[in-house]
Amino acid sequence: MKRGIITGVLILICFVLQCTVFRILAFGGIVPNLLIVLTASFGFMRGEKTGLIIGFFCGLLVDIFFSDVIGFYALVFMYIGYTNGKFARQFYPEDIKMPMFLITCSDFIYGFICYLFMFLLRGRLHFGYYVLHIIIPEVVYTLIVTIFLYPVILKINYHLESKEKRSAKKFV
Amino acid sequence: MSPVLKRKGEKFTLPSKYLLFILTIVCLLLVVLTFNTTIFSGPLGTVAGYVVVPFQDGLSKIGSWLNDRKEELVEIRDLLAENEKLKQQIDDLTIEITGLQQDKYELNNLRELYQLDSQYDEYDKIGARIIARDAGNWYASFVIDKGYEDGISENMNVMAGSGLVGIVVDVGPNWAKVTSIISDNINVSGKVLSTSDDLIVSGNLELMKEGVISFIQLIDEENKVVEGDKIVTSSISDKYLPGILIGYISSISEDSNNLTKSGWLTPAVDFEHLEEVLVITQLKQTVEEE
């Protein structure tokens, strides 16, 4: 219950930051993708199920405000969360390389899927341009933000987990 | 052991594979449903409006405050030097103004005679503030802080200063989503003011960074359209009101079919630094399709 509320608040904070403060402080009109960082990191920290649920809600929020159809971003984020959950077994809190790598891949794939379904299908064929000017800058900027955001998420998760373990012990 | 009826203590848990499958179906259904209808945008928009919009409103204020401070620091040195120069200029200009004021009285009188009103006074407008911008980097849409409670409805035109910004595509009780004309999925039918030739103004992500919009399908057989010509919204559009300034032609070239022309135009609005917009509450009159 507590985990649900805290995660919900975290999603809300990331979404609101992404489309207000970061929009105004954007470098060259590019904003980092905080929601991907959130989805991916909960994916590999907590497993497939948490990843896909958080992805679903992150995507839904983006859908309601900024998409023509509801469900597209929800689907993309959900699969990213689920796929990251597959790596939960290889996850150690001390290791920063794998999370960075996974988040980078996730954001790149997210960008690629967006291009595929929203631009290529409308006949915009300059793939190289979109990679160089939209996807890569977004990945780099996201990576920089990850360095600051990821430890925070890790700490919140650690805190929640240790509390859950304690209350679980009480009942046994 | 059945994967669905797995026992974990006494709680029933659904394996993530199945959850993924179910949610995928839900999402696909939603995509199909919302592609054709607008049943969900009402209730979802209302919920989102009360949960998210207050935060966006507050935070975008903080964001613009931060940005203002940042710019202030940079500008303060330039401003001091400029101040000196400007003071000198004020003196010169005061003398000039006195002369101009006399001309202005004359002009006003003449205008009244010709009954020339200023350009867009005929439309009723509501001012609104931008509180959030697109969460991704692919389109250029934004959310404003007025919704249907303030009298805004879908397909209303949005302006800033003297130029067209975009169109309202979605409304909640206290927010509305505006897609701007530079967005990649938007086409506006316009015309060249001087020759009344029709053309299509089509947003393009590749050109967005350069601050121009592309236009296509300009039929100009007499080669009269030149760079610098004004482009306004055309009267044949079914959503945009006629005669709103879109921008000025910055380059023009003939298409390979030798019939039409295409090129770039510089928008009249500075999309990078948009903060307040005006929503025209008058909708384009359309013929009811029965």
Residue A75: per-residue pLDDT: 92
Confidence band for B14, pLDDT divided at 50, 70 and 90: confident
Res A10 pLDDT > 60: yes
Q: What is the mean pLDDT of residues B267-274?
A: 84
Predicted ipTM of the assembly: 0.75
What are the backbone dihedrals phi and psi of residue B181, each rounded to the nearest 5 degrees, phi first?
A: -70, -15
Angstroms from A152 CA to nearest CA on chain B: 20
Of residues B45, B47, B75, B280, the one with CA closest to residue B172: B45
Res B145 pLDDT > 70: yes
Chain A CB contacts of B33 below 8 Å:
70
A117 part of contact set with chain B, CB < 8 Å: no
Chain A CB contacts of B136 below 8 Å:
31, 33, 62, 66, 114
A15 part of contact set with chain B, CB < 8 Å: yes
Res B121 pLDDT > 70: no
Q: What is the pTM of this model?
A: 0.73
Residue B1: per-residue pLDDT: 45
Nearest C-alpha in B relative to A138: B137
Cβ distance of B30 and A24 shorter than 8 Å: no
Cβ distance of A16 and B41 shorter than 8 Å: no
Residue A96: per-residue pLDDT: 86
Res B5 pLDDT > 60: no
Burial class from Cβ neighbours inside 10 Å (0-12, 13-18, 19+) for residue B91 reads exposed
Spatial distance between the Cα atoms of A115 and A58, rounded to a whole number of angstroms: 19
What are the backbone dihedrals phi and psi of residue B121, each rounded to the nearest 5 degrees, phi first?
A: -65, -20
Residue B113: per-residue pLDDT: 57
Of residues A42, A65, A37, A64, the one with CA closest to residue A53: A42
Tokens, residue A71: 């469900």
Confidence band for B4, pLDDT divided at 50, 70 and 90: low
- Asked if residue A81 lies in contact with residue A87, where contact means CB atoms within 8 angstroms, the answer is no
Residue A108: per-residue pLDDT: 93
Spatial distance between the Cα atoms of B175 and A6, rounded to a whole number of angstroms: 26
DSSP-H helix ranges across chain B: 16-36, 41-51, 53-114, 205-208
* Cβ-proximal residues to B146 (8 Å cutoff; 6+ apart), any chain: B126, B128, B152, B174, B175, B176, B279
Residue A78: per-residue pLDDT: 93
Residue A119: per-residue pLDDT: 87
Of residues A135, A82, A140, A138, the one with CA closest to residue A112: A135
The mean predicted confidence, pLDDT, of chain B is 81
Confidence band for B35, pLDDT divided at 50, 70 and 90: confident
Spatial distance between the Cα atoms of A44 and A160, rounded to a whole number of angstroms: 16
* Cβ-proximal residues to B18 (8 Å cutoff; 6+ apart), any chain: B3, B4
Residue A140: per-residue pLDDT: 92
